Amino acid sequence: MKKFIFVICMLAALCRSGGAEAAESSGAAFAVPAGADVVYLEVNAVCGRDFEITLEANATTGYEWNISGELPAALSFVARAYEAPAGELSGAGGRERFRCHARAAGEFVVVLEYARPWEDEPAAWAMCRVYVAPPR
């Protein structure tokens, strides 16, 4: 419930400002188009280990999540998988999982876009802040 309220608050702030930027630890910024659907996530990871970014998705619609641009240098892509919904309800949504590896401690932003390959503009964006702790 707290995450849902957080997303609603962030979307309300986005609507008031007409756009938003998420600063990466490298100082680069990503401009979110005005009126875009945005999902904000936080992931905790440990340096030297894999972690996952999980997003709601529906493969039956043709939409898929993709990492937008390049990952920060301290993170590397490992694999992706689609988890179909339980049961046999036609057209039901599932989850898309991105497995990444943390090579350095710090705070990083990963931007993903939810789009159909044949369309020019994504239907939604996900901005995932990854907190990587030093090795234990």
* CA–CA distances in Å: residue 55 to residues 51, 87, 108, 134: 13, 19, 18, 26
Residue-level pLDDT, tens digit, the chain, 136 residues:
333 333 333 333 333 333 333 333 333 455 666 667 899 999 999 999 999 999 999 888 999 999 999 999 999 999 999 998 877 666 778 899 999 999 999 999 999 999 999 998 899 999 999 999 999 8
* CB atoms inside a 10 Å sphere around CB 48: 14
Task: Check residue 92 and give its pLDDT.
Answer: 77
Q: What 3-state class would DSSP assign to 17?
A: helix
- Residue 15 tokens read as 């609507």
DSSP letter assigned to residue 46 = E
Q: What is the pTM of this model?
A: 0.73
Task: Check residue 91 and give its pLDDT.
Answer: 72
Amino acid at 66: N
